[in-house]
Amino acid sequence: KQEVTQIPAALSVPEGENLVLNCSFTDSAIYNLQWFRQDPGKGLTSLLLIQSSQREQTSGRLNASLDKSSGRSTLYIAASQPGDSATYLCAVSSGGGADGLTFGKGTHLIIQP
């Protein structure tokens, strides 16, 4: 059964810093990995999707990498801003979709002004 772990569970940094969020998964037989953002009481906003054949994806200040063989992904946020404060969730798709996406518990990020 696929398991997804996100470290750290919470992170607080001053505005302007570059930061890295980590995601690890136990079964490397994945179709893709997706990073989401969730604001309090809201739904999930898709940030980046990495297919299993890809190594990284970039969108603006965000860069996500995927190392399928080691079961790891990182989300790099450059020049952080207070508006980046949210919970960041990593999810993997595997096993023909029988279990849907498997989500990590998320990293709660606070950017201090």
Positions in the binding site for another protein (CB under 8 A)? 31-32, 34, 36, 41-46, 49, 89, 91, 93-94, 96-106
Nearer to another protein, 80 or 86 (CB): 86
Q: Which residues are CB-contacts of 51 (< 8 A; sequence separation ≥ 6)?
A: 31, 32
Question: Measured from the CB atom, is 64 or 80 closer to another protein?
Answer: 64
Nearer to another protein, 33 or 77 (CB): 33
Give min distance, CB of 113 to another protein, in A.
27
Cβ-count burial of 70 within 10 angstroms (0-12 exposed, 13-18 middle, 19+ buried)?
Answer: exposed
**Closest distance of CB 83 from another protein, Å:** 18
Closest distance of CB 95 from another protein, Å: 8
Q: Please give the sequence-ordered ranges of beta strands (E in DSSP) within 1-113, or none if there are none.
A: 4-7, 10-14, 19-25, 30-38, 44-51, 56-59, 62-67, 72-77, 86-94, 101-103, 107-112
Q: Which is nearer to another protein, 3 or 17 (CB)?
A: 3
